[in-house]
Structure 1
Amino acid sequence: MSDFEGRVAVITGGAGGMGSEVAARLAAEGARAYAVDLRADDADGVSGVACDITDPGAVRAAGERILQDAGRVDFLVNAAGIVSTTRPVETIGDDEWSRMLGVNLDGAFYWTRAVMPTMKEQGFGKIVNVSSRAGRTLGNFAGAHYAASKAAILGLTRQVALEAAPHGVYVNAIAPGLVRTPMLSGSVADERVEEFRLATPLRKVGTPSDIADLVLFLLSSKSDFITGATVDINGGDLIL
């Protein structure tokens, strides 16, 4: 029997990029997948849930609807995120700072808070937070607000992992390098992406499928001795 058969998964940012690939893969493995995004798009085996993850009330309400519908939540993947191109910190406005932290950090916190009680009660849960290479070191293409939000995800991951471990709840993070998604195409010129690819040891830019492989491993029973960890996936661009 699959580790995912009959399980219930919530994936933020599930309507595009890495999140949609994770949601589709989980559904294909037999999970009941809920793709949370600003718009509710149903796909094969995936239920769309409209939610502004920067709004704690909206997250609370969406979480309650999922619990009423499915009865439990086994997996949470916080994949929602936004990015902006690199520029001096003094040019980052208040609204842009707040939005970056709201989507990239607050949303992960709100959804973790929403599902944690049921995970603790059922004695099982796995959470994967999507950070970034920029959260581990520096951002090649993004500003200080992006790097700060992704570094904060790692602190959130470690602390919640410590708190949740006695209850059978696992919390890990992944730190991708460049991944070919619509968000990358919309923010970084193809020429710069190609320059980066050639400078990466594996001469590759990641794909959503690469990310989904790692996320599903961390949600599976194969990772049952791993919690509080950050797993790098960047083609060798950052080797610690």
Structure 2
Amino acid sequence: MRQLEGRVCVVTGAARGLGQTIAAALGAAGGRLALCDLREDALRAAAAALRAQGCEVYAAACDVSDSAAVEGFFATVAEVLGPVDVLVNNAALVPGGPEDEARRSRHYTYLTTPEPRDTLGFTSAMSDAEWLKYWGVNVHGVFFCTRAALKQMEPRRYGRIVNIASIAGLSALSAHSPHYSATKGAVIAFTRAVAAEVAGANIFVNAVAPGGVATPQFDDYIARLDPEARGRLFQMIPAGRLGTMDEYAGLVVYLAGDGHYLAGQVISPNGGMV
């Protein structure tokens, strides 16, 4: 079914991973795609692949943490494709550096191994810069893009906004990344507030809060774990596996369509973790 036939769909952070998969699913459902990312080479490659599959695509580099850049991107989308019908706020900084992975592995061991309880020391050791950089993309970026999209949706009394949050904003399972958890909790609160504000104009705002996602980046992290550590990770997931990007993308397509009565909901596919 091409339930999004002709709809103008913006996806941020669309150059790779979950964002690219979401864009492909929206395109397969008939959406006309407007994609942005900071990784220009990867974005061009993603756009070319989508065009080869028959999708209509406009793609441009955009730093979602830059208010002026966001306003310019959305103005160009309206000129090239028409006013925005669907916005997927996917762009985010995700902890994936060596220090992040060390904290994550330490936390997973702490959760799944009998050992004396003590502080893990993550928050007290975090710098101002590490804390603040996540807010620019993960929270301010969601606000800037939502504001720009609503300026085009409200006069037409139609729109669908899907914010990609995280299980980190719903639970303590990401205590290894307090900065990331805080930003995703903010996205969830923002989703609920804006949804209540605009639902009367037939603009439905919802959030998807994924558990583990089998992105290439997370698969690489798992592959570097020793067998015991890998087993501890999957022991935390009742379903025994990570969610696939296609499974998450299918939910986004549903929320981007007209066949539901959902507003202000936070849906968390997480294999039973929460």
Q: Report the residue type matching 2:66 in the other structure.
A: D
* Structure 1: tracts of 5 or more residues without a match: none
Decide which of 196, 214, 231 is 2:233's aligned counterpart.
Answer: 196
**Residues 139 and 147 in structure 1, CA contact (< 8 A), matched pair in contact too:** no
Structure-1 residue corresponding to 2:18? 18
Aligned-residue sequence identity (percent) comes to: 36
| 1:195 CA displacement | 2.7
Q: Deviations over 1:135-188 (max 9, x none)?
A: 001233741100000000011000100111111100000110110113424666
RMSD of Structure 2 on Structure 1 (CA): 1.8
Structure-2 residue corresponding to 1:125? 159
**Residues 7 and 30 in structure 1, CA contact (< 8 A), matched pair in contact too:** yes
1:21-40 equivalent positions in 2, closer than 5 A: 21-38=21-38, 39=40, 40=43
Structure-2 residue corresponding to 1:227? 263
Residues 51/186 of structure 1: CA separation in 2 closer, same or farther (3 Å cut): farther
Q: Do structure 1's residue 113 and structure 2's residue 150 form an aligned pair?
A: no
State the secondary structure of the residue aligned to 1:36.
strand
1:60-75 equivalent positions in 2, closer than 5 A: 60-75=71-86
Structure-1 residue corresponding to 2:193? 159
Distance 2:5 2:32 in 1: 8
**TM-score normalised to structure 1 length:** 0.92
Structure-2 residue corresponding to 1:211? 248
* Structure 2: tracts of 5 or more residues without a match: 104-120
Decide which of 136, 146, 153 is 2:170's aligned counterpart.
Answer: 136
| 1:22 CA displacement | 0.7
Structure-1 residue corresponding to 2:126? 92
Structure-1 residue corresponding to 2:64? 53
**Residues 127 and 172 in structure 1, CA contact (< 8 A), matched pair in contact too:** yes
| 1:101 CA displacement | 1.1
Distance 1:104 1:193 in 2: 28
State the secondary structure of the residue aligned to 1:233.
coil
